[in-house]
Structure 1
Amino acid sequence: MDDVELSEMDEMADDQPIAEPEAPNGFLAFDLSAPLMRAIVELGYRTPTPIQEATISLLLSGRDVIGQAQTGTGKTAAYGIPILERIDTSIRKPQALVLAPTRELAIQVAKALEAMARFRHLGIVPVYGGQSYERQLQAFRSGAHVVVGTPGRMLDHLRRGTLDLSAVRFAVLDEADEMLDMGFIDDVEAILSCMPGAPAARNQAPIVKLPEGLPPVQIALFSATMPAPIVRLSTRFMRNPEHISVTPSQAMVPQITQVAYDLGGMEKGEALGRILDVEAPGPTIVFCATRRAVDDIAERLHGRGYRTAGLHGDMAQAERERVMRRFRDGAVEVMVATDVAARGLDVAGVTHVINFDLPWDPEVYVHRIGRTGRAGREGEAITLVTPRDGRAMRQIEMALRAKIIRKRPPTLGDVAIKRRAAAQVTVATAIAAGNLGPYEGLVAELSEQFDAAAIAAAALRLWDTARTAGRDGSTLGSILVSAAVEAERLEAQAREAPARAARAAEGGRSVARI
C-alpha cells in the first residue's frame, strides 16, 4: 500500500454520514461525553461487540486489560473509545500511544480514531517508516494527543528526543503477537520502559528520563494468541490486568458469496470495469479509500457506460440525499463511496459490494459486505487484491474463519462474449416487441444495394457507437478487435514458453559449469 497522506486521512475523518441513525442504546450505558457519543451515533455504531462490552468500562475505570481477540471483533473501538474519552484537550502533548505491527494497521487505526474523535477535535498522528520525520515533527508541534505508530519509528523518535512522554497516561499494544512474530518485541519492551511509572529496560541504558512522581501509564494489550514472550511482557509492565477472551462469531459474517480477484499487474480501474462488464450486476456499491478515488472511479465507470454517482464528505447533505434517492430509485446503477460517508446506509436489493480498496481492518470489511445479501436475498462481495494486499487478505480470512474464493480478472475475450450476448438479447427483444414498420421500408430499399447481413451489422455498429458516445469508446466492435489482439498475444506467449524455459535451463547449466 502506498503511503496515505495525512490530508487524505483528514478528508476521510471529515466525511459525514447519509443520515443520523437512532442512538445506539448499548453505548449510552458507558456514560460517554456528548461529542464522543455524537460521533459514535453518526458512525452507525448501535450495539457494542462482545470485546467492546467487556473492555470499555474496565478501561474507563483505569484498569489494565489484556484482550485476547482476533482482528475483526471490534477491538479498535474497544480501546479507542476509552482513550478518546479520557484525553485532556487542554494539554497539547501526547497522552496515548498505540503500537501496531505494520504501517498499514497504524494508518487504519489512526483513521478509525480520527473518525471517532471528530467532534472532540483531537490530534491523532500516525508515525511509521517511509514517511518524512519533518512531517511527523510538524504534527507533534501542532498538538498530537494520540500517537499511533510502528515500534521502529516510535523508538526512533524517543532516541531523537522528539516524542514527549511526560503526559502519556495510556498505552496500547495492538496485535502484540504479530509484533512478536515480526521481531519487534525488544523494541516494544524498550518503548514501554520509557513510560511513566514503568520498570527500566533490561540490559540497556534508559532512553528517556522522565520527572519523578508521574502516575503509572495504563496499558491495554490486544493479541489473538498469548505466546510466552507476550505473557512475560504483560507480567513485567502491566498492573493486575483483567484478562478478557473473545472469539469472533461466524454469525458476524453475512452468508454471501465472497470473491477476491488477484490482479497481478493489471491496473485496478481496468479490472473493475471488466468485472462489472462480465458480472452485469444489479445495484452495486464500490468502496474506495479516499474522496479523490471516489471521484476518479465514478468518472471512469461513467465513461464505460454505467450510470454512476459518488458519495463522500465534500458533498452537501442535500446532494448526498439526492444521490441516495437516485440509487434507491434505480437511476444510479453503481454508487462509489467512502466508508464513513456510507455509514448507516441501508438500501434494499444491493446485489454486489466491491472493495476497490481493500480495508486493513476486517471489521470494516464486515461492515461493507453486510450491505448486500439482505432479507434472504443472494449477494456477492468482490475484492480487488493487489500483490501488496496479501497479508490483509490473510487477516480477513483468519478473522472471518472463511476461505474467500480466488479468481483471475476477466480477459477482454470474456468481456467480448458478455457484450455480444447482451447485444443479441437487445436485438431479439426489439424484434419481439414489433413496431418496426418505419424501418422495414428503409431496410427493403437498402437490400436492393447491400447484403442483409451487412445492413444489420451496420445498424448494430451505429447503435453501439451512439450508445457509447461521449464515453470511453469501448464499443462492442472495438472490444472484439482488442480481444482478438489479446488472444493472439497470449497464444504467442504460450508457444514461446517451452523455448524460454529451455533457454533458462541452459543458462543455469552454464552458470553451474563456470
Structure 2
Amino acid sequence: KPDKGGDAVDKQEDDDKEDKAAQSLLNKLIRNNLVQSTHQVEVLQRDPNSPLYSVKSFEELHLKPELLQGVYGMGFNRPSKIQETALPMMLAEPPQNLIAQSQSGTGKTAAFVLAMLSRVDPSQKHPQCLCLSPTYELALQTGQVIELMGKQSPDIKLAYAVRGNRLEKGQRISEQIVIGTPGTVMDWCTKLRFIDTKNIKVFVLDEADVMIATQGHQDQSIRIQRSLPPGCQMLLFSATFEESVWKFAQKVVPEHNLIKLKREEETLDTIKQYYVLCNNKEEKYQALCNIYGAITIAQAMIFCHTRKTAGWLAAELSKEGHQVALLSGEMMVEQRAAVIQRCWLCVAKNAWILQSLG
C-alpha cells in the first residue's frame, strides 16, 4: 500500500463544501455491494452492423480459471445489468474502446478490473494496464478490488502512482497494473520516467465527471492518453454525462462504443427516504437523538455540510456515549485511509460523521 497519498492538485480551494470526489467515494463506501438496479441500458455501438452480445453468467465470458475464481470469491453470482453488456465489449478481440455511464453499486469497478486482469501477461514484468482515479482514496479503493479479484493470480502485481510513493532515480515500474492520480502518473510517465507506457494495453479513466471537476486533471489525463501506444484499449466511466464530460470523453476515447442509462432517476428503489424540517443545527441534533431513541441503529453514516459542523456533531454524540468515527478533509491521508479501512472491515460503529474528503 502507498505510504502517503493525495496529489497536490487533488485539493480543492473550498475546504468547507463537499466536492465531487468526496461524494463519489462515499457513494462507493455506502454501496459496496452490488445494487440490483432497475436502470435500463442503452447501447450505441461504434459499428452498428456488429452483433451485440450480452451474457447472463460469468462462465459465458470464458475467463481464465483463476479470474473466475476471483470473481466468485468476491461474492458476484451473476453479472449486473451493466456488466451483462459491458464485459463482452471490454473482453472482445480485437479490443474495443468504451464510454460508459455507471453509478456506484452497479459493478462498474469490478468490470474494468476484470478487463485489466484479463489482458495482463503475468510473465511480462512491465506496466500493461493503467488506471487513473481523481483522488488517492478512490485509487486505493480500486486497488483493493484489483487485489481481491486477482488473489488467485499472484504473479500479477499492482503499483500505486500517488504522491508520497517515492522511487529511486532511474527506477522503472515492473508491476503489470498501475493505478494512480493524474498529476503523479503524468510525472512518472514523462518527467521521472518511472512508467514506460509503450506496452500499455488498457487505459482506464474512472470517475470522469469527478476528474474534470478538479483543476488540471483534464489536461493531465489527455496528455497521458496521448503518450499511450496505438491500439491501447480505452475505457472511460462517468456517473453523469453533462456536456463538459461528454466533450472530455470524446477527446480521450476515440472510436468508442457507448453504454448509457435510460432511467434518469438517481435514487435507489430499495432505500426509503424521509426528511425532517429543522431551523438550526440544535434542532437537527435533537431530531437525530429522537431517531436514536426510537429505533435500534447498529451503524449509521451522517453527512454534514461543513467540517466544523461534523466536528461539533461528533463531539456531541460522543458525550451521549455513542462510538463515533469522524472522517473529514483536514485529516491526513493516512488517517482517512485508516478510517475507510475500518469501514471496509465492518468494525461496528454507532455513527460515522463524514464531510469533504477534498
- Normalised TM-score (structure 2): 0.62
Query: What's 2:301 paired with?
Result: 260
| Distance (whole Å) between structure 2 residues aligned to residue 65 and residue 51 of structure 1 | 12
Query: What's 2:137 paired with?
Result: 104
Q: CA deviation at 1:290?
A: 6.8
More helix by share: 1
The unaligned stretches of length 5 or more in structure 2 are 6-55, 274-296, 305-309, 325-335
Query: What's 2:225 paired with?
Result: 192
Query: What's 1:55 paired with?
Result: 86
Look up the equivalent residue of 1:117 and give its one-letter code: G
Query: What's 1:77 paired with?
Result: 110
- 1:32-87 superposed Cα distances (whole Å, 9 cap, x missing partner): 11111111112111122222122111000011111012233221012111111121
- 1:164-210 superposed Cα distances (whole Å, 9 cap, x missing partner): 1121010011011111111211111111010002xxxxxxxxxxxxx
| Distance (whole Å) between structure 2 residues aligned to residue 387 and residue 223 of structure 1 | 22
Q: CA deviation at 1:228?
A: 3.7
Higher relative contact order, chain-length normalized (CA < 8 Å, sep 6+): 2
Say whether residues 1:35 and 2:82 are aligned partners.
Answer: no
| Distance (whole Å) between structure 1 residues aligned to residue 321 and residue 71 of structure 2 | 37
- 1:362-411 superposed Cα distances (whole Å, 9 cap, x missing partner): xxxxxxxxxxxxxxxxxxxx64124455x6xxxxxxxxxxxxxxxxxxxx
> CA, structure 1 residues 134+383, in 2 after alignment: closer, same or farther (shift >3 Å)?
farther
Are the aligned partners of 1:106 and 1:149 in contact in 2 as well (CA < 8 Å)?
yes
Report SS of the residue matched to 2:125.
Answer: coil
Work out the percentage of aligned pairs sharing the same amino acid. Answer: 25
Report SS of the residue matched to 2:111.
Answer: helix
Are the aligned partners of 1:264 and 1:386 in contact in 2 as well (CA < 8 Å)?
no
| Distance (whole Å) between structure 1 residues aligned to residue 170 and residue 318 of structure 2 | 39
Are the aligned partners of 1:289 and 1:338 in contact in 2 as well (CA < 8 Å)?
no
Report SS of the residue matched to 1:148.
Answer: strand
Say whether residues 1:182 and 2:214 are aligned partners.
Answer: yes
> CA, structure 1 residues 41+265, in 2 after alignment: closer, same or farther (shift >3 Å)?
same
Query: What's 1:226 paired with?
Result: 241
Q: CA deviation at 1:224?
A: 1.8
Are the aligned partners of 2:209 and 2:239 in contact in 1 as well (CA < 8 Å)?
yes
* Corresponding residue to 2:122 among 83, 89, 94: 89
Query: What's 1:126 paired with?
Result: 160
> CA, structure 1 residues 74+187, in 2 after alignment: closer, same or farther (shift >3 Å)?
same
> CA, structure 1 residues 161+3, in 2 after alignment: closer, same or farther (shift >3 Å)?
closer
Are the aligned partners of 1:176 and 1:222 in contact in 2 as well (CA < 8 Å)?
yes
Say whether residues 1:147 and 2:178 are aligned partners.
Answer: yes
> CA, structure 1 residues 85+273, in 2 after alignment: closer, same or farther (shift >3 Å)?
farther
Larger radius of gyration: 1
- 1:249-270 superposed Cα distances (whole Å, 9 cap, x missing partner): 75564559884346517889x9
Report SS of the residue matched to 1:275.
Answer: coil
Are the aligned partners of 1:76 and 1:109 in contact in 2 as well (CA < 8 Å)?
yes
